[in-house]
Structure 1
């Protein structure tokens, strides 16, 4: 399982989550902080989730307590969430490179994620 994010300025960090994503090992805040720094977002940004039940656990809902502004969004609406377009693009490029094992799959995902152009991300945010 992978966790990633993006902004109008490009793709953030991509993190591999080993095993089942459970509340106790879900370290979204750490990954989000890394991406905010990488993307140089400063303080004026809003976090949008897809509202998958695992993302709405008590750990994640504490974001508001930590002054992370979360965009109110319809529950589980992948057809509206622009990250779904990024995942589809990533899958297309990784599939074309034909990984043969999990280690290679992860490596290719990292490489292709890094190649996502900021212009593409900007268009998704504008849309």
Structure 2
């Protein structure tokens, strides 16, 4: 994915998604440190749009809730999904994934950052 493509995805979907799943104003954007996430143009867009980003160490256990959506029966690969396919994932389902996040974090902490069952 080219850096411009990722910025376009953020422009078109980030704030809309926040509203749809009713996160309010005090949300933090979480992403791993994959190459497309660390482009300077992406960092600039996030800063210019006042998006608070969760600090995330590289090579960390993958705790991104959307990964669970990609493992579901609707198995999508995140890098190959079109906006139309993402639109089919119901906001309530995304909210449930986020709600399960504490459980995942607790397990990672218990395993001291090593592999977990998640």
Structure 1 length normalisation: TM-score?
0.57
Gaps of 5+ in 2: 76-81, 104-118
Distance of aligned partners of 1:23 and 1:85 in 2 relative to their CA distance in 1, 3 Å threshold: same
CA deviation string 1:55-77 (max 9, x = no partner): 11122212124311100001243
CA deviation string 1:9-61 (max 9, x = no partner): xxxxxxxxxxxx21123211331111112122222010010111111112221
If asked which structure has higher relative contact order (CA below 8 Å, sep 6+), I would say 1
Whole-Å Cα distance in 2 between the matches of residues 68 and 117 of structure 1?
A: 19
Structure 2 length normalisation: TM-score?
0.61
Equivalences, count:
93
> What corresponds to 1:52 in structure 2?
34
Distance of aligned partners of 1:31 and 1:106 in 2 relative to their CA distance in 1, 3 Å threshold: closer
Given that residues 46 and 70 in structure 1 are in contact (C-alpha distance below 8 angstroms), is that contact kept between their aligned partners in structure 2? yes
Distance of aligned partners of 1:42 and 1:118 in 2 relative to their CA distance in 1, 3 Å threshold: closer
> What corresponds to 2:4 in structure 1?
24
